[in-house]
Amino acid sequence: GENVEQHPSTLSVQEGDSAVIKCTYSDSASNYFPWYKQELGKGPQLIIDIRSNVGEKKDQRIAVTLNKTAKHFSLHITETQPEDSAVYFCAARQTGANNLFFGTGTRLTVIP
Amino acid sequence: EAGVVQSPRYKIIEKKQPVAFWCNPISGHNTLYWYLQNLGQGPELLIRYENEEAVDDSQLPKDRFSAERLKGVDSTLKIQPAELGDSAVYLCASSLNQGNKAFFGQGTRLTVV
């Protein structure tokens, strides 16, 4: 199966600064990489995703980059706000399969 | 459009007792997943349904866990008997079909005492 590693496990930034979370995956057959945000007591919420035929995708303050050669992808949040504070999970899905393999999560704290 | 609905939100039971969780996926979503999330970890797949068929249940501990999705819509996940180590959040997710975005419910937090 797929093995997804995520770093860092915790991240604190000042409001307005940028935050970057990185993930690596093991299976070169993986072709879909979503990011989820999970607030306390809630289920994971899909915030952005990228497929392997694209190197970068942006949605307002959030962007994801993918390096297929190195098998890593990153989440970038710019102009962070206190409401961005949550646990963020990356995930990967293999071609032809339908199971998402998740990283262990990054707890982001945005300090006002 | 309503999201994935799960109930109950919280459940506390004594060990060796049975427990059941219910999930109503997003309308029209053929694929339904049950995930287990331990504290401080990412979700891990227990079982995946395509309509009413369980197509991936390799991670489901079949000695005590069972699931069903009889009409290809709602699903229930059951544990009998529950053990202390089953304390976790049980998440349900759905997607339109294979290869599409997966959306999660709020989860059921199970505490076994």
pLDDT, one tens digit per residue, over B69-86 is 988 899 999 999 999 999
Chain centroid to CA B23: 7
Separation CA B60–CA B37 (nearest Å): 13
Mean local confidence (pLDDT), A91-95: 88
pLDDT in the model for residue B1: 62
Q: Closest approach of chain A CAs to the CA of B80, in angstroms?
A: 24
Percent of chain A with pLDDT over 90: 87
For B85, list phi and psi in degrees, rounded to 5: -70, -5
The reply to whether A98 touches chain B by the CB within 8 Å rule is: yes
Separation CA B25–CA B29 (nearest Å): 7
Q: Do A46 and B42 touch (CB under 8 A)?
A: no
3-state secondary structure of B80: coil
pLDDT 10s digits, A18-43: 999 999 999 998 999 999 999 998 99
Q: Give chain B's residues under pLDDT 70.
A: 1, 98
Q: How many CB atoms lie within 10 A of CB A22?
A: 17
Mean local confidence (pLDDT), A34-59: 94
β partners of residue B89? B37, B109
